[in-house]
Amino acid sequence: MAASVCAAAVGGAAGGAGGGACDGAAGPDGSGQASALCSVAAYALGLWPRPVGFVDHGELELSTNLSENALRGVALGRKNWIHVGSAEAGPKVAAILSVVETSKRLGLDLRAYLAEVLPRLADTNIQRLGELTPSRWAASRGG
């Protein structure tokens, strides 16, 4: 009985309906373990489209190695940056690290990028600030 209720729930979850079919499913000893297992299976199958989204979208990266490697320096330096100065400094450090890591990912010469962009920041209108991002800067140089 419990197996058939769980099978119906799992079948319903795979079809997108999911829901209360697991309610009341009890194990052979009446413990409710089948209901718990059934709920877990229905939940996992309901989320199935999320982890396999990369199959439909070839541009998605299956691995998180690039982002993990980019954050490794941040994680290692965290203790060194405890005394950054204030709570307001955190978002500023995050913005700077974002620009640095984006530049690295794009293969830009970070020194050349910063040497050109930093002096222009004070005179750039806020509506044109996007032109100074690493990707737009690289595109303007044919990169």
CA pair distance 28, 41, nearest whole angstrom: 18
Residue 108 scores a pLDDT above 90: yes
Percent of the chain exceeding pLDDT 70 equals 69
Closest listed residue to residue 23, CA positions, set 7, 35, 41: 35
Q: Over the stretch 73-91, which tens digit does the pLDDT of each residue have? A: 777 776 666 666 777 777 7
Task: Give the range with max mean pLDDT: 13-27, 32-46, 114-128.
Answer: 114-128
DSSP state of 12: H
Q: Report yes or no: 12 and 4 within 8 Å, Cβ to Cβ.
A: no
Q: Which residues contact 97 (CB under 8 A, 6 or more apart)?
A: 74
Q: What confidence score (pLDDT) does residue 64 get?
A: 80
What is the end-to-end Cα distance of the chain in Å, rounded? 64
Query: What is the value of pTM for the model shown?
Result: 0.47
How large is the C-alpha radius of gyration of the chain?
26
2 pLDDT band, cuts 50/70/90, is: very low
Closest listed residue to residue 12, CA positions, set 33, 36, 51, 38: 38
CA pair distance 62, 9, nearest whole angstrom: 30
